[in-house]
Amino acid sequence: MRSLLRLRPYVRPVAWRLVCSALVAVTASCLSLLIPLVLKHLVDGPVRHHDPSGVWLGGALVLLLGLAEAGLFGVRRWLVARPMAALEARMRGELYHRLQRLPVAFHDRWGSGQLLSRGTNDLQIVRMFLTFPLIFLVVNSTTVVVGFVILFFQRWTLGLVLLAPVVPLVTLCTYFESRYSVATRRAQDQIGDLTTLVEESVLGIRIIKAFGRHRSQARAFQRQSQELRGTELFKAGLLANLWGMMTSLPDVALGSALVFGCVQVAHGTLSSGTLVAFLTTGLALRWPVESLGWLLSISNEAATAVDRFFDVMDTAPPADDGTGAAPAAGPADGIRFEAVRFRYPDAPEGTPDLLTGVDLHVRSGETMALVGATGCGKTSLTALLPRLYEATGGRITLDGADSAAMSRSQLRSLVATAFEEPTLFSATVRENVLMGAPQAGEEELLRALRTAQCGFVHDLPQGVDTQVGEQGLSLSGGQRQRLALARAVVGDPRFLVLDDPLSALDVHTEALVEAALREVLATTTALVVAHRPSTVQLADRVALLSDDGRITAVGTHRELLETNEEYRWLMSGADERSAA
């Protein structure tokens, strides 16, 4: 109940529809309990006195009650179907919005399949619970109470016989609930893991095929599927045991009441009509009682789904206390890193910081290349500039303005980024590029495509309006990287971060892109992660990041080659790779 009560803010706007739906369903269910009373009248009246006309009248009344019950259940469905679909859509929208606001560090810890299953399967379970089980927990409970009141008015001694299974059934349900809720959570987490595996297999299908790993992936899928199967069978076993007991105990009680009632009819202390009405009422209560097992299982699954939904929603997005103001007008100061330290939020306790005190000044209008050994923190440093991660210490300023004091939206309108691993979306070329500057027009789009040497887009079936497919897999690695570069430069950004943007290009295309990039870099302040001399030579100066997370040398490419042995070693290895 604690979990399900967290749905109140979402349910409150449609609560009146749920209440009306419950009232309509209770009315319909109670109408069904009037049918045994009609049967009692028929048996003790027209049937006993051999009056066919009375039988027809009673039959017509039973038919009308049945039609009224069916009609009311239809109204109940109409009352809740549309609002519950809207509620599910609202929850899914809020979940998606929260995922967009949560930091990159959060997404580093969570599997995409786990998040996907929360936004699809779990919210579908919640909607189903609110549409049917929630209402029928109320309806069936009310029906059982009203039904037993009718039974006691008909024959209280027989009513006590039917009440005998209540204590063992309550005990059984308590035991069932505690075990089923644990199994339900395990199953839904396993669904998330399986979804992650399937998603990764689809996105990485080229790697799987290229290395012939389809069998190992199939084995991993089979293993996780078997684990999920085992959990679902365990749940089914619990449910089967519950259903068996909830079916057999009331049937034993009903059979006992039948025997005792027949004895009383034989002795003339009970009318046949009363016994028929009593037994018919008891049979009418079978479904409300038996359904409790199913309703409890759905309620547990819904509670687990709600917990999983709030696992994400309870994660607070990072505070954004900035004023949203751009750097103040005045002398441009470029980018400054002042004693910047950084460690990943999920790094083990006791491990040293990745960046241990970076001091670096990229002058306004200057292009600074950042070089260093693999794993020294170059990409992490550039990720601090648009605040994809928050610096652990120190500060970063843009033209004198502290980036931590700016709103993220304002900061990211000033800083454009092109990552080493280009990510494209299932959208058109135009839409992918203009993500970097939604306000840009056709002229800016074409200029960015020319800068990134993306002339190939004009040969696509619909030109810039061609869908590039999921992850841009219909394009080559170099084409994807060039489109990502076009996305970074389309908005003519004030500050530009390029993380090894030319790594997937052949030498001829690289030369053309470099020539075009020089025009862009001439009008912006840029920080470029570089691994090859050709990329380094785009820069005005070079900064060397050491393995201990500090800037150990700054100068021109030629100066560092002459004075710094580590830089000379890095560039000699790069020259050898380029030659190869």
- Could you read off the pLDDT of 519-534 as tens digits, one per residue? 778 888 999 988 878 7
Q: Which residue has the higher pLDDT, 542 or 573?
A: 542
- The pLDDT assigned to 62 comes to 79
Q: What is the pTM of this model?
A: 0.73
pLDDT(543) > 90? yes
Diameter over CA atoms, the chain: 121
pLDDT(575) > 60? no
Instruction: Give Cβ neighbours of residue 561 (< 8 Å, ≥ 6 apart).
Output: 567, 568, 571
- The pLDDT assigned to 340 comes to 93
Token code pair at residue 481 = 């990287």
Q: What are phi and psi of 323, to 5 degrees?
A: -80, -20
d(CA 243, CA 548): 64
Q: Which range, of 47-56, 420-429, 555-564, averages the lowest pLDDT? A: 47-56
Residue 49: pLDDT band (50, 70, 90) is: low
pLDDT(359) > 90? yes
Nearest to 527 by CA among 509, 505, 547, 551: 551
Average pLDDT over residues 275-282: 80
CA distances (Å), 248 to each of 54, 180, 252, 276, in order?
Answer: 37, 21, 6, 21
pLDDT digits (tens, 9 = 90+) for 451-498: 888 888 888 888 889 888 666 666 777 788 888 888 888 888 889 998
d(CA 292, CA 239): 11
For the chain, where do the domains classified as CATH 3.40.50.300 start and end? 335-579
Token code pair at residue 446 = 């074409």
Percentage of residues in the chain having pLDDT higher than 70: 92
d(CA 352, CA 547): 12
Which range, 11-15, 357-361, 414-418, 467-471, has the best average confidence (pLDDT)?
Answer: 357-361
CATH class of 335-579: alpha beta
Nearest to 191 by CA among 232, 239, 236, 234: 232
Buried b (16+ CB within 10 A) or exposed e, 428-455: bbbbbbbebbeebeeebbbbbbebbbbe
Topology adopted by domain 9-313: ABC transporter transmembrane region fold (1.20.1560)
- The pLDDT assigned to 211 comes to 65
Angle 4-183-289 from CA coordinates, rounded to 5°: 65
Query: Tell me, what DSSP letter sits at residue 549?
Result: S
For the chain, where do the domains classified as CATH 1.20.1560.10 start and end? 9-313
- Listing DSSP states for 47-69 in one string gives ITTT-HHHHHHHHHHHHHHHHHH
3-state secondary structure 65-107: HHHHHHHHHHHHHHHHHHHHHHHHHHHHHHHHHHHHHCCHHHH
Average pLDDT over residues 265-293: 78
Residue 576: pLDDT band (50, 70, 90) is: very low
pLDDT(43) > 50? yes
Tokens 């979402």, located at residue: 10
Q: Which residue has the higher pLDDT, 254 or 335?
A: 335
Nearest to 142 by CA among 23, 293, 247: 23
Q: Check if the beta carbon of residue 440 is closer than 8 Å to that of residue 491.
A: yes
- The pLDDT assigned to 579 comes to 43
Token code pair at residue 488 = 């970074």
- Tell me, rounded to whole angstroms, the distance of Cα 531 from its chain centroid: 37
pLDDT(580) > 60? no
d(CA 282, CA 162): 8
pLDDT digits (tens, 9 = 90+) for 395-423: 999 988 888 888 888 888 888 888 877 78
d(CA 139, CA 531): 69
d(CA 473, CA 156): 74
Average pLDDT over residues 368-386: 89
d(CA 67, CA 403): 69
Percentage of residues in the chain having pLDDT higher than 90: 11
Mean pLDDT across the chain, nearest whole number?
82
Sheet of 393-398, strand order: 355-362, 335-342, 393-398, 401-402
pLDDT digits (tens, 9 = 90+) for 188-235: 888 888 888 887 777 677 677 766 777 888 888 888 899 999 998 998
- The pLDDT assigned to 578 comes to 46
d(CA 107, CA 86): 27
Residue 577: pLDDT band (50, 70, 90) is: very low
Nearest to 333 by CA among 402, 398, 410: 398
Average pLDDT over residues 283-287: 78
Average pLDDT over residues 332-337: 86
